[in-house]
Amino acid sequence: MRIDRIVLHRVRLPLVRPFRTSFGTETARDLVLVEAVGSDGRSGWGECVAMDWPGYSPEYTDGAIDVIERFLLPRLAGIDDATDPVEIRDRMAPVLGHPMARAAVETALLDLWLRHRDQSLADYLGAVADRVDCGVSVGIPTSESIADLLDEVAGYVAGGYRRIKLKIEPGWDLAPVAAVRGRWPTVPLQVDANQAFQRSDGPLLAGLDDFDLLLIEQPLPEDDLYGHVLLAEQVRTPICLDESILSVASTESALSLGAASIINIKPGRVGGYLTSKEIHDLCQERGAPVWCGGMLETGIGRAANLALAALPGFTLPGDTSASDRYYAQDLTEPFVLEDGRLPVPTGPGIGVDPIPEVLAGVTTWRRELALPR
Ligand code: OSB
Ligand code: MG
């Protein structure tokens, strides 16, 4: 069966509350969805997790759209719905960087391929669980008030989240962590700095050792693996890498050098679910725990992340939170937390679809593209 066309949907979805990190404040997700339409009229979906500006990583939504149109789709001439997803990944691989753009295209085509085979993404990847433990990522309050932070965390704890992650930055570091740990002495807790500290901050970050954290995520810049090695020698809390992990090779480097002992796997950041599984497999061989990161995904990206998080090496709760943590109205049927967990979709492919009226209501434009013959 032919792939009839690729449709790009530019979507703007307001967040229920601003999300402030060390790199900026997001008030909405301004994203692109990739839809691959088969000649039978069925569709596969991929959510591009690039943000609308290059603050988390070098990618951004308009850049991803440009790369998809100019460089990725032209490489897919002649594919059909029987083309193995591994071939699709390999055809796009010569385009360097832009993993989020490549992941979105790969996922849309993988989803369509799986739907035609009537197989779920979870089954294809080797999932072993039918629901996954969920954590929640808590931004820096725009008020910079610890009382406001405690109120927000209290809501998530009451909602049943199985792990709390606090965003930190220089100046918003030990005090908020001490306050949350003081109020919830046993809640699984971790922090994420999004690269905001420096090599000289070792003694400060060692102060976090008092709070029984699961991990410190990405304290130093993405390219500073050696800095993380030096830091790991100064702090007892395990170091986890997010932004630095771009491939199987960078994962192996980080683990072998001792820059990290825990890995955050984000499919967009590593170029898709196939590579995510390979990183998972390597970490399992090395005995390194992994967890599924998040990029404020809509239900489309979340569904696929839940399939990945159901693999056996995902032993820590992920940033796979319920729809209502992000959006008043998700693009899909909402994912609802049950006892701190979300269900792994069981339908073919990613197992969910956008609700057409909802998608139409938040779409700023759509563009239909043909694949080259
Ligand atoms: O560093 O993990 C991060 C969101 C956007 C960009 C980067 C990050 C995050 C989060 C939120 O921490 C995770 C989520 O709930 O989707
Ligand atoms: Mg992170």
Adjacency order of strands within the sheet including 3-21:
43-48, 24-38, 3-21, 363-369
Q: How many whole angstroms separate alpha carbon 71 and alpha carbon 66?
A: 8
* Ligand 1 lined by 47 (C-beta under 6 Å): no
268 lines ligand 1 (CB under 6 A): no
Predicted pLDDT at 1: 76
Q: Is 155 left (phi over 0), alpha (psi -120 to 50) or beta?
A: alpha
- Among 2.60.40.1180, 3.50.50.60, 3.40.50.150, 3.30.390.10, what is the CATH number of 3-118+356-369? 3.30.390.10
192 lines ligand 1 (CB under 6 A): yes
Residues 6+ apart with CB under 8 A from 182: none
Check: CATH 3.20.20.120 for 122-343? yes
CA of 62 to the centre of ligand 2 (A): 22
Residue nearest to atom 1 of ligand 1 (CA): 194
Please tell me the residue having the least CA distance from ligand 1 atom 5.
295
Paired tokens of 205: 């970050």
- The residues whose Cβ lies within 5 A of ligand 2, an ion, are 192, 217, 242
**67 Cα–ligand 2 center, Å:** 24
Tokens of 24: 């900026």
275 Cα to the center of ligand 2, angstroms:
18
Which pLDDT belongs to residue 373?
81
**Ligand number nearest to the C-alpha of 295:** 1
- Tokens 């960078």 -> residue: 250
- Which of 48, 216, 319 to mutate to test ligand 1, by most ligand atoms within 8 A of the CB atom? 319
Measured in angstroms, how far is the CA atom of residue 1 from the centroid of ligand 2?
39
Say yes or no: CB of residue 330 within 6 Å of ligand 1: no
User: What is the structure's pLDDT at 339?
Assistant: 98
| Ligand 1 in reach of 134 Cβ (< 6 A) | no
Mind telling me the catalytic residues?
A: 167, 266
Instruction: Quote the ligand 1 centre to 368 CA distance (angstroms).
Output: 30
pTM score above 0.75: yes
* One-letter identity of residue 337: L
**Rounded Cα distance, 149 and 140, in Å:** 7
Domains of the chain, by residue range, sit at: 3-118+356-369, 122-343
pLDDT number for residue 20: 98
Residue 304: name the closest of 88, 137, 120 by CA: 120
Is ligand 1 within 6 A of the CB of residue 319? yes
CB count within 10 Å of CB 128 equals 11
Matching residue, tokens 């066309």:
5
- Predicted pLDDT of residue 336: 98
Q: Which residue's entry shows tokens 């970490």?
A: 283
Q: Where does residue 314 fall: left (phi above 0), alpha (psi -120 to 50 degrees), or beta otherwise?
A: beta
pLDDT for position 372: 87
In the prediction, which pLDDT does 289 show?
98
Q: Which residues of the chain have pLDDT under 70?
A: none
Mutate to test the pocket of ligand 1, among 245, 296, 335 (most ligand atoms within 8 A of CB): 296
Q: Which two tokens stand for residue 303?
A: 């569904």
The residue nearest atom 7 of ligand 1, judged by CA position, is 295
